[in-house]
């Protein structure tokens, strides 16, 4: 469901209009657009969950000995151990990145449900439709995203 809050009003035409003061010049989202965006986010979320399950099954649930394919009771070469450890660490980094993407998608779905999707979390202005099309989980407009990135670099 799409809920309205004080910054968004539903029109009888089936469009969502943003508060004119904070979002001058932005085009309204149609209800169907938001429904389609939400469906896309849910599909992407399901794909990420499948990837996480795959990562867990392929490398994280196996012991080092099982992952190496060594069937003997003897220890294996240190270079093989290093390669296996690198592969496990790489898989953990992939899983962490996927977890962060999953969180961002969940937050975008919550914003759609709350009626604040397309509104910058920092300044309250509109996030452009082009930005949201390229990155549907975007929380900030371009200007605020740049400020955020500059401040995190320091």
pLDDT tens track for 40-68: 999 999 999 998 888 877 766 665 555 55
pLDDT in tens, 120-137: 999 999 999 999 989 999
Which 8-state DSSP code applies to residue 1? -
The mean per-residue pLDDT over the stretch 139-143 comes to 93
Q: How far is CA 130 from the centre of its chain?
A: 17
d(CA 126, CA 119): 5
Separation in Å, CA 5 to CA 8, 56, 145: 6, 40, 24
Answer with the residue of higher pLDDT: 25 or 36.
36
- Under the banding of pLDDT at 50, 70 and 90, the label for residue 119 is very high
Q: What domains can you pick out in the chain, each with its CATH number? A: 8-117 (1.20.120)
| Confidence class for position 34, pLDDT limits 50, 70, 90 | very high
pLDDT band (50, 70, 90) for residue 22: very low
DSSP string over 68-94: HT--SSS---HHHHHHHHHHHHHHHHH
pLDDT in the model for residue 54: 86
Q: What is the pLDDT of residues 68-109, one digit of tens each?
A: 555 554 556 778 778 888 888 888 888 899 999 999 999 999
Q: Angle 78-114/31-55 helices, nearest 10 degrees?
A: 160
pLDDT for 60 equals 64
Q: For 19-26, what is the mean pLDDT?
A: 42
């Amino acid at each position: 469901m799409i809920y309205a809050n004080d910054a968004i009003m539903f029109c009888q035409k089936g469009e969502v209009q943003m508060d004119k003061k904070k979002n001058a010049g932005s085009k309204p989202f149609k209800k169907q657009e938001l429904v389609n965006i939400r469906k896309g986010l849910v599909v992407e979320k399901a794909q990420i969950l499948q990837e996480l399950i795959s990562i867990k099954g392929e490398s994280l649930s196996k012991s080092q000995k099982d992952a190496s394919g060594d069937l003997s009771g003897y220890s294996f070469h240190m270079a093989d151990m290093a390669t296996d450890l690198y592969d496990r660490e790489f898989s953990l980094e992939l899983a962490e990145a996927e977890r962060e993407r999953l969180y961002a998608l969940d937050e975008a779905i919550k914003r759609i449900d709350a009626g604040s999707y397309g509104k910058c979390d920092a300044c309250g202005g509109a996030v452009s439709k082009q930005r949201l099309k390229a990155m549907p989980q975007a929380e900030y407009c371009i200007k605020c995203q740049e400020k955020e990135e500059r401040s995190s670099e320091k």
